[in-house]
Structure 1
Amino acid sequence: MTDQMNEAMLDAMESVQEVKVGDSVQGEVLSIEDNKQIIVGILGAGVEGVVPIKELSTLPIETITDIVKIGDTIELVVISEIGKDKENGSYLLSKRRVDAKKVWEKIEDSFKAEELIEGTVTDVVKGGLVVDTGVRGFVPASMVDSHFVSDFSGYKGQTLTFKIIEIEPSENRLILSRKAVIEAEKAEMKKEILDKISEGDIIEGTVARLTNFGAFIDLGGVDGLVHVSEIAHYHVEKPEDELTVGETVSVKVLGINPDEERISLSIKETKDGPWSGIEEKAAVGSVLEGVVKRLTSFGAFVEIFPGVEGLVHISQISHKHIATPHEALEEGQEITVKVLDVNEDNRRIGLSIKALEEKEEPVVEESFEMPEESTGFTLGDVIGKDLEQ
């Protein structure tokens, strides 16, 4: 053997890559065995390796050919040496771990840049959601939504956007939050709405929540409050008596406090007041049903329409003389009244009860007449006799 041949052989031997556990290598797919594993030739090393199906992808796969085909060159990492006497190769390799490493690196970059990432909810567990982002992520129950959720089953299969809360690749630990994304979106929408609306605007919203003191109206990302006193022109005892959750309503903006992100609204200000058109609704001479609301020393206030009260003066309560309205009426009593006069500008209505009742005629006592035959004198004789005396 010549010196040149020896030197060529030494160069060839030196050019053969030594394979160690943990190395990243390139492998050419030589064969696919029973859809369970692939055999690859490690380029530059002159040896073969085995990649089980579970080490081919970070996602579950059914058919190996969906991932690789014979002749493909793929990037792999050496997991362990399985012996040169093994029929299927001498090294156990993984493509999944290479892909996962790249995903972790990308996620770490997103975390540092405070960027959001996407993931698909693959499972619902007692403590929260399992999410596939290329690697396994976890969303604790308290970070799933901005409000309490009792059943997470509806999230399974959804692809959502998440904020990275905690990341530790060495421990395969990735904690995500959907709640943070929702709250950030709401804050942005709230800012846009607060910048867009002005006091006095009339806009549409949806009844989001009802409380004992009013109704919260969703204006498209920010809630405004309609106090119970601003629901209707008449007295409202409970908001649920007038409104239902999900109902679309028109509201007028009464006030905006950007610092506290509070919006005061009114529903009644978008509607005609109860006195509007009252001269037609309660025309002079008309007879109406009403409820006694208040009694005073000078008369009774009677509600004839929601939010509209008229006065029955004490002199119009009864044909009989009464010293106080309490003698004839009581609060809450339903009565019939006749309209005497109406003044829409001054919001005054004069009513009468007695105008609908018949006046009783006074009883006249009969005068006594003396029968003439009983005395033998006439009444004139008696009077004349008295004058003579």
Structure 2
Amino acid sequence: MSEEVKVEQAEVTQEESMANVTFLKKGDIVKGKVIKVDSDQAIVDVGYKYDGVIPLRELSSVQIEDAAEGIGAGQEVELKVLTIDDHKEKLVLSKRAIDSEKAWDKLNADMENKTVLEAKVAEVVKGGLVVDVGLRGFVPASMVERTFVEDFSDYKGRTLRLRVKEMDKEKNKVVLSQKDVLDEEFDVKKKETLSKISVGQTLDGTVQRLTQFGAFIDIGGVDGLVHISEMAWHHVETPSEVVKEGDKVKVQVLKVDPENERISLSIRATQPGPWQSISSIKTGDIVTGTVKRLVNFGAFVEVAPGVEGLVHISQISHKHVATPQEVLKEGQQVQVKVLDMNPDEKRISLSIKETEEAPAREPREPRPERERAPRKQESISHEEGFKTTLGDKFGDMLSKFK
């Protein structure tokens, strides 16, 4: 083959090659295949005369430490041309730009349809969490869970179920909430549970939180209240004396109000009553008790957990007592004698003075004798005086009738 023919064939081959080369410019959208992934970039074949580069910052809308977190070798991707320089054979591409454009349209539709999304937590930042939803999404701390979370340090890498709350494309702002999803699920489960429970049922529950007036118990997707008066048979000052958050407890349903979504529960109703545990106490026994309450007519003394008996004011002391407060105080330990028991009516009559020896009576002082003349002598003298006086007075008159 002549040199001229070889030159002509080379020129034809070059012309065909140039005809197949895609001409690119800044802003073009191209498709390519990842051929290599380094720690700080990915190399992509987009069918151009040289390969393109996706820098680490252009791989994802959220911060990543390694390119492999955002892309993989062999992956087919759609990219946007950021810069191109044929002289330096430099082609810089962005995956993030394409993902973001697509994400805005998708998220807008998701917000309108109230779609539940799944997204992985990319960062834990002040005030909340950053998630990757095709662009940088933010979940405020108050919208992560239904309850307050103090520390989010272990949330990185978790997958959350989210709903789009707010979008502003100009400010590149997307706010999402997992709490909305959880609240909705809770409401559905709550209505389902309310429809199934009835008064008198005994259920297993978990202590959710404590308040001054009682404890809220989760009984399967719905919280019910155990009032402090229903926590135990004995007197309870604070709920923490009986339970703590996270405890598993048995409760009995006292009242259900589906309209207001309220449930009243009792822990003590699932436990043996205190009056069932005092079979060892009999009438006539002397036991130790604690003064619980003082009233005008006596004192209530606890002789067993949750079992109180009355010491009437007349049974407090052998001495006269005007008010129980004179000799007793609440919390005082005392010995009492059981005078009478009526478990059916839950009544016990007690006595403190019957446990004490009665004081000896003081001897009476003799009364002074009165000085007086003998009664008989006085009568005789009086009679004699009376006779003398009649004889003297009527003697002459009587003599005329003789």
Verify same fold: TM over 0.5: yes
Alignment of 1:105-116 (within 5 A): 105-116=105-116
1:135 Cα deviation after fit: 2.6
DSSP 3-state at the match of 2:232: coil
Alignment of 1:290-305 (within 5 A): 290-292=289-291, 293-297=293-297, 300-305=299-304
> Which residue identity is paired with 2:159?
T
DSSP 3-state at the match of 1:115: coil
Change (3 A) 1:145 1:19: same
Alignment of 1:76-115 (within 5 A): 76-82=79-85, 84=86, 86-88=87-89, 92-115=92-115
In structure 1, what is the Cα distance between the partners aligned to 2:222 and 2:311? Answer: 47
In structure 2, what is the Cα distance between the partners aligned to 1:198 and 1:117? Answer: 36
DSSP 3-state at the match of 1:355: helix
Q: Is the counterpart of residue 176 in structure 1 residue 176 in structure 2?
A: yes
In structure 2, what is the Cα distance between the partners aligned to 1:234 and 1:57? Answer: 65
Root-mean-square deviation (CA, aligned residues, Å) is: 4.2
> Which residue identity is paired with 1:25?
V
Change (3 A) 1:336 1:23: same
Cα pair 1:300 1:325 within 8 Å, conserved? no
Alignment of 1:146-157 (within 5 A): 146-157=146-157
1:255 Cα deviation after fit: 1.5
**Residue of structure 2 in register with 1:24 after alignment:** 29
1:171 Cα deviation after fit: 5.7
**Residue of structure 2 in register with 1:57 after alignment:** 59
1:316 Cα deviation after fit: 4.4
> Which residue identity is paired with 2:247?
E
Change (3 A) 1:97 1:60: farther
> Which residue identity is paired with 1:350?
S
1:283 Cα deviation after fit: 0.8
1:245 Cα deviation after fit: 2.5
Cα pair 1:55 1:95 within 8 Å, conserved? no
Cα pair 2:99 2:135 within 8 Å, conserved? no
Change (3 A) 1:60 1:210: closer
DSSP 3-state at the match of 1:330: coil
**Residue of structure 1 in register with 2:260 after alignment:** 260
> Which residue identity is paired with 1:132?
D
Q: Deviations over 1:220-260 (max 9, x none)?
A: 43322122222223332322333323222222212222232
DSSP 3-state at the match of 1:285: coil
DSSP 3-state at the match of 1:174: strand
1:307 Cα deviation after fit: 3.4
Change (3 A) 1:281 1:38: same
Q: Is the counterpart of residue 214 in structure 1 residue 214 in structure 2?
A: yes
1:287 Cα deviation after fit: 1.0
In structure 1, what is the Cα distance between the partners aligned to 2:152 and 2:84? Answer: 44
Change (3 A) 1:325 1:49: closer
DSSP 3-state at the match of 1:120: strand
Q: Is the counterpart of residue 337 in structure 1 residue 336 in structure 2?
A: yes
**Residue of structure 2 in register with 1:139 after alignment:** 139
1:73 Cα deviation after fit: 6.9
Q: Deviations over 1:82-132 (max 9, x none)?
A: 2x4x1426x544445444444554444433432121222222222322212
Cα pair 2:131 2:137 within 8 Å, conserved? yes
CA radius of gyration, larger in: 2
Identity %: 44
In structure 1, what is the Cα distance between the partners aligned to 2:326 and 2:19? Answer: 121
Cα pair 1:28 1:42 within 8 Å, conserved? no
DSSP 3-state at the match of 1:194: helix
In structure 1, what is the Cα distance between the partners aligned to 2:141 and 2:359? Answer: 80
Cα pair 1:55 1:97 within 8 Å, conserved? no
Deviates more, 1:152-161 or 1:17-26: 17-26
In structure 2, what is the Cα distance between the partners aligned to 1:31 and 1:330? Answer: 89
Alignment of 1:277-292 (within 5 A): 277-278=277-278, 280-292=279-291
In structure 1, what is the Cα distance between the partners aligned to 2:169 and 2:242? Answer: 55
Q: Deviations over 1:174-213 (max 9, x none)?
A: 2222222232232233223222322221212222222222
Cα pair 2:294 2:300 within 8 Å, conserved? yes
> Which residue identity is paired with 2:52?
V
Cα pair 2:130 2:138 within 8 Å, conserved? yes
Change (3 A) 1:342 1:88: same
DSSP 3-state at the match of 2:110: helix
Cα pair 1:31 1:40 within 8 Å, conserved? no
> Which residue identity is paired with 1:79?
L
Structure 2: unaligned runs, 5 residues or longer: 1-14, 367-402
Cα pair 1:120 1:132 within 8 Å, conserved? yes
**Residue of structure 2 in register with 1:232 after alignment:** 232
Q: Deviations over 1:35-86 (max 9, x none)?
A: 856474637xxx545334438733654469x7345xx87544333442x4x1
**Residue of structure 2 in register with 1:380 after alignment:** none
Change (3 A) 1:92 1:334: closer
Q: TM-score, structure 1 length as denominator?
A: 0.73
